[in-house]
Amino acid sequence: MSKFQGIEFYKKSDKKYHLLPFRFINLTEEKLLLTNLVGEYYLTDRKVLDDLVHHQLDRENLAYSNLRSRHFLYDEQTSIAKNLLKIKYRTKFNRLADFTSLHMFVVSLRCEHSCPYCQVSRQSDDKKKYDMSEEVASKSIDLTLRSPSKNIKIEFQGGESLLNFELIKYIVEEAKSRNVDKNLGFVIATNLAVVTQEILDYCLMHDIHISTSLDGPKSLHNKNRPRPGKNSYEKTIEGIQLTRDTLGFDKVNALMTTTEASLSMPKEIIDEYLLHNFSGIFLRPLSPYGFAIKTKKFNEYNASRWFEFYKQGLEYIIKLNKEGIRFREFYTSTILKKIFTLSDPGYVDLMSPAGIGIAAVVYNYDGNIFASDESRMLAEMGENKFKMGNVLHDTYKDIFLSDALLDPLEDSFALSVPMCNDCAFENYCGADPVYHYATTNDFVGRKPESDFCYRNMNAFKYIFNRMDSDKFVEDLFMSWSK
Amino acid sequence: MEIEVSFDLKVYSLDTLKKAAYRYINVFSINFDIQPKQVRCTLAFTDKSTPDQCKYYVDQFKKEVLDQDLRNTIKNETEPVRNLILAQAFSKTGLVDDE
């Protein structure tokens, strides 16, 4: 007896099939994107969609087998589809059981820079007022190590974190000595202006990574990031070199902040990153915290301008890759990872349930705990909506079961939000209640008026259209998802 | 500027019309007047909207109603299997039956 079904089995003309849950959206007038329960996708036209939904799709049609293999429909030959979807869905949300892995310690609000876009730094010599104390640090370490996550990353933030390097040393050594079974990692976010060989030697000894800021070419960087001596750029570049020499080439990464002045310079900014041999760049969206939040029009205007900036930057990066220069854009990579894999890259803005509190948490210098770095910035503007508690007064349970965390998580869950719940991009997008609260005083906001929605919808459409129109881009983007 | 559009209740549900209208909340406000056999929708645009823009968005709204209707069909057919998959994905209790 043959181990295989005969050809007649596969030629059955019975049109009976069942739909599995999926959503769709127009990418262009003619082209539609279909996404299933776990974010697997299929590009097609209106006729196929109509035929599919009305059970008129012929089995001989190539779309039929494609849609069947991607779990948009099942028939008598593929009854296992439901079980596979179940396993994939469970895998997709597996991260939730791990809970908070990123713990940010704001060791000082003091900073020798005076960047106009920064909401949190303070020019002050008063160390006691704006530096984290050992008592606050100690309690914060206890909370950090209570997280069920096996992998814990402690990130030191500022102000300028290196201005309180003694406390960083205390936290690193205490965390290591109290740790029983976690994989601990450490990152210092610093502008590198005050870094020394001695500091880097300590980082080498404790395998501490460095994350710094590089906004672009010298003129732009120094304009964005004023400091005494007007030499922020020079200090950063020197610091990057010293870090690479001491810790290793890949132990330092750089982030840019997009400002009004950046928007016309995507190529120059990318060239600056290439000049310093970085493997990619994160063309970060504009932050709504601060001045932009007060003037809604300014904000909306910049959402479309950011998208143009992003598009120009991405096209330039694609061109570089076509010329053989390997370089990637990290915002796109994050989205691609969500499109092509079931693992979550852990980018708080693009998570649902929102990543606040359950993917990252911030211990502020004064002991207050916030659900994200943006929540802390909002607090500096006088809005404490996302303050989860204080390390000195509240227990682990009080903090992580606080209404300040659970209310926004519950309210903003994209599967129950108008428009998000039937959006084909929902699997790739996020809830971001902090952003929406900052801009609309509501955890959800109205999505048609949300520039978060505008920005991401446009980015998703652009990414899918580019992959569909250019095989090179499809292959390139696939490689970025790994 | 106000433009009136009517939909037959035998063809489209009020819920479908509401969902379609929500997508254009940033473009027009809407009033639903429910008649025995149809829903009369009055779309109110801002004074800044040109007649061409208004016509464009009325067309888009009509297309969106069709899309929402299709989404509703998918949702109705797939709701049981969706609930089953979600329940089983997060359940190890064995209390959820496949059939």
What is the residue-level pLDDT of chain B in tens, covering all 99 positions?
Answer: 899 999 999 999 999 999 999 999 999 999 999 999 999 999 999 888 999 999 999 999 999 999 999 999 999 999 999 888 888 777 654 444 544
Strand, coil or helix: A190 = coil
Q: Residue A411 domain-assigned?
A: no
pLDDT digits (tens, 9 = 90+) for A172-206: 999 999 999 999 999 999 999 999 999 999 999 99
A333 and A386 fall within a common domain:
yes
pLDDT digits (tens, 9 = 90+) for A75-98: 988 878 888 999 999 888 888 878
A164 CA: distance to closest CA in chain B (Å) = 44
Q: What is the ipTM of this complex?
A: 0.85
B26/A19 touch (CB, cutoff 8 Å), yes or no: no
Domain of A210, CATH number, reads 3.20.20.70
Count up the domains in chain A and report the number.
Answer: 2
d(CA A386, CA B45): 36
d(CA A364, CA A180): 25
Q: Residue A423 domain-assigned?
A: no
Per-position DSSP letters for A434-482, written without gaps between them: HHHHHHHSSSS--GGG-HHHHHHHHHHHHHHHHHHH-HHHHHHHHHHT-
Q: Residue A119 domain-assigned?
A: yes
pLDDT exceeds cutoff 70 at A106: yes
Q: Chain B 10-69, CB below 8 Å of chain A: which residues?
A: 19, 22-27, 67-68
A310 and A216 fall within a common domain:
yes
Q: Residue A262 domain-assigned?
A: yes
Q: Residue A167 domain-assigned?
A: yes
Cα A93–Cα A96–Cα A101 angle in degrees, nearest 5: 130
A20/B90 touch (CB, cutoff 8 Å), yes or no: no
Instruction: Give the Cβ contact number of residue A290 at 10 Å.
Output: 16
Boundary-marking domain end, from A349, A373, A400: A400
pLDDT exceeds cutoff 50 at A482: yes
What's the mean pLDDT in A416-427?
93
A117 and A57 fall within a common domain:
no
A80 and A111 fall within a common domain:
no
A87 and A119 fall within a common domain:
no
Boundary-marking domain end, from A384, A400, A416: A400
Q: Residue A286 domain-assigned?
A: yes
A235 and A286 fall within a common domain:
yes
* Cβ contacts of B98 within 8 Å, gap of 6 or more: A82, B84, B88
A167 and A258 fall within a common domain:
yes
Which residues span the domain enclosing A28? Answer: 7-92
A84 and A108 fall within a common domain:
no
Boundary-marking domain end, from A92, A114, A141: A92
**Is some CB atom of chain B closer than 8 A to the CB atom of A413?**
no
pLDDT exceeds cutoff 90 at A382: no
User: What is the gyration radius of the CA atoms in chain A, in angstroms?
Assistant: 24
Q: Residue A435 domain-assigned?
A: no
**Is some CB atom of chain B closer than 8 A to the CB atom of A18?**
yes
- Nearest residue to A425 (alpha-carbon basis) of A453, A465, A449: A453
| pLDDT, chain A, mean | 91
B37 CA: distance to closest CA in chain A (Å) = 25
Q: How many residues does chain B have?
A: 99
A240 and A295 fall within a common domain:
yes
* Cβ contacts of A439 within 8 Å, gap of 6 or more: A288, A293, A296, A299, A445, A450, A451, A452
Q: Residue A408 domain-assigned?
A: no
B71/A24 touch (CB, cutoff 8 Å), yes or no: yes
Strand, coil or helix: A103 = strand
- Which of A25, A28, A37, A83 to mutate to probe the B interface, most B CBs <10 Å? A37
A83 and A141 fall within a common domain:
no
- Nearest residue to A104 (alpha-carbon basis) of A343, A330, A385, A356: A356
